Structure 1
């Protein structure tokens, strides 16, 4: 049998460009080792920070070095779209984090190509990226979550009479502390924890510089637990993991600086709590129409036993030390097997639905 040609798509235009390269290196290694080496042929495609898709030879060099290619080093004759990759790939593996990667935009392009791809489709990716739309889907599914207020950039910047009213509403409905977040950025970029009116005003102005949609969430004192989900229409949940840290919240520096955050797998929680989180993770996965993989994050208020869903991440970090593969590793699915399953799930989801009336 001929090998399945996997188009590994990485890099991208978001602030998580370097994280994407690290994830892609780990996946490339998994696809090229053990039984996977006999099943798959790797076709890397690197998307530069300027949006240019670079040829496979250059893309492989970036994979090998683990370092982004400077925009000044862009090939003058390289097209913005790599036609060579598009015609050769059997299944795409888009390892792109953040905007223009896991927000439905690249998924729409891949869908137009009519080639299978790993992960959620347009709807699941878009809902998983936009924190406001995500929370609306969670509420419709009956998943408990923290109180929040949605704000637009125009309310902050365009009308000086409206802005004080928005702050009044946030103080009345949420109080302090609260968290101000751009609705469509990953990796805690642009997020602020605020404890006063002046901090709130500054944080809203800052968040509006990143996104036209902003969400403000009530702060809670809780443990932060995570669950990995794998599958399509009948997904499975992993064991539960816990993240602990000394900083105010799980910001970008805490997330990506080695040794700053502690991971506990499995999380030391009662079995009933773990089972409840697993059930909620699957419910959240289905609520946004996710596919393939997702990591679902929760708040656990130990004093009351309350579990609140925080968010879903439809393309989580995928290095060997990232929470998603580590959770599945502790659940009996080693990294190379996990990557293999994701490719097979993509192929499975692309198959035309059988007409049950013909059976």
Structure 2
């Protein structure tokens, strides 16, 4: 009798503004995952939150000729169903409920709210199924740029000056919120507190532009963070959880520099549309001492929010040799050309091996409190 291969549910799309980025990520994983070791079930989530069974052809979800993929049709609606012994995927087509097979691991390739922020992680915990990546609390903290900074400051990291503007504060007294930002030195970066892929971010050079920039960010998230610009190199480091009780591991660092191509910072277009907008180099040209420092700090940040599976930690490296933490991404961009897989490839773990390792880490981890 042939032993059943573990069935991995690739979950992508989602309700956030990073829907298309998630699809591109899924295309990369679909193409590379070892089909001899795993059976793959691709399930998409529409922007309305509906789940649908999709094709296994990576080209259907890849970034082609600059267009962004979208999950819109719900031809094969599905949902997870549990009993005390297993979690299964159920087809709901034509009002007939039928089992499509037991799910062993979910790989939630979701970015942004309703996916990377603890929402889907909570649902998967309730369903009793193993999943790749951080749990509920770490995902929520890693998504919220405000609470992330609070945690990092308490762990001894240096963070840049910032102000937070909540929805109620802005609606009650926007002038007071703007006045609080006067202590910050320009340029400023105005960001949705709980969004990624540089969606809704504006670089502000003069005070007269600040109000409009906050309104742009509020279209993505009613909670806004205003950060003082930092002079320094943008250096990133990938972290991979250790097996069992072994320590987490850090990749060689990578560096991002924005080319003079109409982009004043590493925005959404520079990341995903304009291939000539940014230079990604790995390993970053750093001294041995600085390389060792950032790898140690990246693992420390990973542990500070109690992350699991994978994360990418972003720092500024100042001319004075100081490391200022920018943010952690608990589900970083994961296409073959994304920085996280590139950094691990340079460190000795290629894309397919990385996928294998993340599934193995998810499989060995218990569900619930740990």
Q: Name the TM-score, length of structure 1 as normaliser.
A: 0.89
For residue 334 of structure 2, what is the aligned residue in structure 1?
318
The answer as to whether partners of 2:28 and 2:58 remain within 8 angstroms in 1 is: no
Q: 1:22 to 1:331 in 2, by over 3 A?
A: same
User: Is 2:255 the counterpart of 1:242?
Assistant: yes
The answer as to whether partners of 2:190 and 2:204 remain within 8 angstroms in 1 is: yes
Local SS of the residue matching 2:200:
coil
For residue 231 of structure 2, what is the aligned residue in structure 1?
221
For residue 6 of structure 1, what is the aligned residue in structure 2?
8
- Rounded Cα–Cα distance in structure 2 between residues aligned with 1:48 and 1:180: 28
- Rounded Cα–Cα distance in structure 2 between residues aligned with 1:197 and 1:307: 28
- Rounded Cα–Cα distance in structure 1 between residues aligned with 2:265 and 2:90: 43
1:289 corresponds, among 288, 302, 306, to 306
Residues 123-166 of structure 1 show CA distances to partners (whole Å, capped at 9, x for unaligned) of: 1111110000100110111111111111112222x23xx32222
- Rounded Cα–Cα distance in structure 1 between residues aligned with 2:290 and 2:249: 17
Q: 1:213 to 1:107 in 2, by over 3 A?
A: same
Alignment root-mean-square deviation, CA:
2.1
For residue 208 of structure 1, what is the aligned residue in structure 2?
218
The answer as to whether partners of 2:30 and 2:57 remain within 8 angstroms in 1 is: no
For residue 28 of structure 1, what is the aligned residue in structure 2?
30
For residue 315 of structure 2, what is the aligned residue in structure 1?
298
Local SS of the residue matching 1:272:
helix
For residue 179 of structure 1, what is the aligned residue in structure 2?
189
Q: 1:86 to 1:143 in 2, by over 3 A?
A: farther
Local SS of the residue matching 2:203:
strand
What's the CA shift for 1:87? Answer: 5.5
For residue 77 of structure 2, what is the aligned residue in structure 1?
78
The answer as to whether partners of 1:148 and 1:216 remain within 8 angstroms in 2 is: yes
For residue 134 of structure 1, what is the aligned residue in structure 2?
148
How many residue pairs get aligned? The number is 340
Q: 1:353 to 1:136 in 2, by over 3 A?
A: closer
Local SS of the residue matching 1:18:
helix
Residues 32-78 of structure 1 show CA distances to partners (whole Å, capped at 9, x for unaligned) of: xxxx33321111111122211112xxx1166442264563x333x73
Local SS of the residue matching 2:264:
coil
- Rounded Cα–Cα distance in structure 2 between residues aligned with 1:86 and 1:199: 53
- Rounded Cα–Cα distance in structure 1 between residues aligned with 2:107 and 2:77: 22
Q: 1:221 to 1:86 in 2, by over 3 A?
A: farther
User: Is 2:351 the counterpart of 1:335?
Assistant: yes
The answer as to whether partners of 2:44 and 2:71 remain within 8 angstroms in 1 is: no
User: Is 2:240 the counterpart of 1:230?
Assistant: yes
Unaligned ranges ≥5, structure 1: 355-359
What's the CA shift for 1:101? Answer: 1.2
- Rounded Cα–Cα distance in structure 2 between residues aligned with 1:215 and 1:104: 20
Deviates more, 1:200-209 or 1:114-123: 200-209
- Rounded Cα–Cα distance in structure 2 between residues aligned with 1:187 and 1:134: 17
- Rounded Cα–Cα distance in structure 2 between residues aligned with 1:69 and 1:168: 40
- Rounded Cα–Cα distance in structure 2 between residues aligned with 1:152 and 1:353: 31
For residue 50 of structure 1, what is the aligned residue in structure 2?
48
Q: Name the TM-score, length of structure 2 as normaliser.
A: 0.87
Unaligned ranges ≥5, structure 2: 63-68, 81-88, 92-98
User: Is 2:162 the counterpart of 1:155?
Assistant: no
- Rounded Cα–Cα distance in structure 1 between residues aligned with 2:212 and 2:42: 42
